[in-house]
Amino acid sequence: MSDRLSGNEAVAYAIKQINPDVMGAFPITPSTEIPEYFAAYVANGEVNTEYVAVESEHSSMSVCIAAQAAGARSVCATSSCGLALMYELLYVAASCRLPITLACVNRALSGPININHDYSDSMGARDSGWIQIYAENNQEAYDNFIMAMPIGETTTVRLPVMTCMDGFITSHAVENIELLETEVVRSFVGTYNPENYLLKKENPLAVGPYDISAYYMEHKVQEAEAMKAAKARILDVAAEFEKISGRSYGLFEKYRMEDAELALVLMGSTAGTAKAAVDKLRAQGLKAGLVKIRVFRPFPAEELALALASTRAVAVLDKSEGFSGNGGPLFAETRSALYDLKERPYLIDLVYGLGGRDIKVEDIEKVFERLAEIAASGETGSVYAHMGQRSKEDMV
């Protein structure tokens, strides 16, 4: 059925359709609407989820961890500083192999405090053992959330899943969306039936041990193996999802990449803007294309290398800084992925849009202009730069 929903409402609606056992709820801009919409579903008796309105994001994640360990399917939503406050517990959730689903509505991290979109929050959690799936628009935010539980809960994976969408740009903009029937969603997602859980009568369970050096590393390796295994599962679930929705998803989306010589690697809603630029440049005869990363964890390194193998110059667009001194996190992953190619394209990184600074079709066109120069001259110039900086004089 067709509807018009904001990204937040679409995700809240997906949660309603799933009707999870427990929700840990705490407000933070721009994810606040998700627990708000859901509170209304609870108040109206449209779901029978145990809704726990806690006193911090730290406690919402703590509630989710404990509830999931107790045998319940649990969800929460957060943004920015809320995710940062959960940081310690994100690792606990993943290491306890608890497939919690978290809707992350991306927002810049403090400081300075800023409520608009970039990926500094979820990029800070990229090494926590959570699967991360990013949406370009409302439809993808809805679809990704519905796919999250079948991915995370499967026994070969058993990892928590963070479905991410761009704060305000996606979370608050109302778009046309295709919703699935609730029965279809429920049967697709299924029920959560862990083998072992705290409330299991027959077999008490202990969770969260003090794990000494003799065992800790084996447990971490199991977690790493699970993350590797997640890649195939994500594709399997996507294939199943296509059957019920007609919508097709991969680890990333290739847009006009068949013969592309100049390409972008980027994430999220910027893909929409960049696709418009690609179309425009294609019409002018430039062999432009882009790769939109959907699954950042596990990172599809081999697949991305293949996708970029025949390009001549590539720009990574990073919407978070990272402070490595060598470019943003998406650039680090992409450059690492390309290392194994015998012949690599030229590669640059442009950090853009921090704290929600807008990016326009013209900005993308300029990036392609620069890629064309690099391809022609063989000179990359500055490999890592920031897009559209105002001068010091402009600042005052």
Partner 1 sequence: MSKVYNLKQEVEKPPRLTGGHRLCAGCGAGVIVSGVLRALNKEDRAVVTNATGCLEVSTFMYPYTAYTDSYIHSAFENAAATCSGVEAAYNALKRRGKVDGTVKFITFGGDGGTYDIGFQSLSGAMERGHDMAYVCYDNEAYMNTGIQRSSSTPRFARTATSPVGAVNQGKKQEKKDLTDIMVAHNIPYVAQTAPLGNFKDLHTKAYKAIYTEGPCFLNILAPCPRGWDYPMAKMAEITKLAVDTCVWPLFEVEEGVWHLSYAPKKKLPVEDFLRPQGRFRHMFEAGQEWMLEAAQAYVDQKWERLLERSGA
Span of 29-37, 51-59, 160-168, 245-253 interacting with partner 1 by CB under 8 A = 51-59
CB of 375: closest distance to partner 1 in angstroms? 51
* Cα gap 314→368, rounded to integer Å: 9
Cβ contact 122:166 at 8 Å: no
Q: If we measure between CA atoms, which residue out of 76, 77, 164 comes closest to residue 123?
A: 164
Where do we find the tokens 């761009």?
Answer: 166
Interaction residues for partner 1, span 159-198 (CB under 8 A):
198
* Cα gap 162→71, rounded to integer Å: 19
Where do we find the tokens 């690492």?
Answer: 336
CB of 118: closest distance to partner 1 in angstroms? 28
Residue from 46, 127, 181, 211 in contact with partner 1 (CB under 8 A)? 211
Residue from 39, 70, 184, 305 in contact with partner 1 (CB under 8 A)? 70
Nearer to partner 1, 89 or 234 (CB): 89
Interaction residues for partner 1, span 4-43 (CB under 8 A):
21-22, 24
CB of 106: closest distance to partner 1 in angstroms? 24
Q: If we measure between CA atoms, which residue out of 8, 3, 14 comes closest to residue 184?
A: 14
Span of 66-74, 241-249, 333-341, 361-369 interacting with partner 1 by CB under 8 A = 66-74
CA 329 to chain CA mean position, Å: 13
55 contacts partner 1 (rule: CB under 8 A): yes
Nearer to partner 1, 205 or 244 (CB): 205
Nearer to partner 1, 97 or 117 (CB): 97
* Cα gap 227→230, rounded to integer Å: 5
* Cα gap 244→221, rounded to integer Å: 35
53 contacts partner 1 (rule: CB under 8 A): yes
C-alpha dihedral sign at 222, 227, 229, 233: positive
Other CB atoms within 10 Å distance of the CB of residue 116: 20
CB of 374: closest distance to partner 1 in angstroms? 48
Cβ contact 239:231 at 8 Å: no
Which chain residues interact with partner 1 by CB under 8 A?
21-22, 24, 48-50, 52-56, 58-59, 62-72, 74, 88-89, 92, 96, 198-201, 204-212, 215
